[in-house]
A = this chain, B = another copy of it.
Amino acid sequence: MDVNDFKVLLVDDETDVLDFMKYNLEKEGFWVYTASNGIEAIQMAKKMNPHLIILDLMMPKMDGIETCRELRNLPEFKNTIITFLTARDEDYSQIAGFEVGADDYITKPIKPRVFISRIKALLRRLETNETAGKLVVGNIEIDRERYLVIKDGNEISLPRKEFELLNLLISKPGRVFKREEILSKVWGNDTIVGDRTIDVHIRKLREKIGDDYFKTIKGIGYKFDA
Contacts and interface: CB of A to CB of B under 8 A. Distances in A.
Contact of A113 (B2, B125, B146, B189): B189
A172 B145 CA distance: 10
A98 interface: yes
Given A29-B114, A29-B121, A176-B146, A220 B2 contact: no
Contact of A26 (B114, B125, B175): B114
A218 to B, nearest CB: 7
Contacts of A220: 147, 160
A145 B124 CA distance: 18
Contacts of A24: none
A174 B47 CA distance: 43
A5 B120 CA distance: 10
Nearest to A99: B47
Contact of A4 (B95, B121, B145): B121
A184 B104 CA distance: 20
A87 to B, nearest CB: 15
Given A113-B189, A145-B174, 15 more contacts: A5-B121, A29-B114, A29-B121, A43-B95, A44-B94, A47-B94, A47-B95, A48-B94, A117-B189, A145-B176, A146-B175, A147-B176, A147-B217, A160-B218, A160-B219
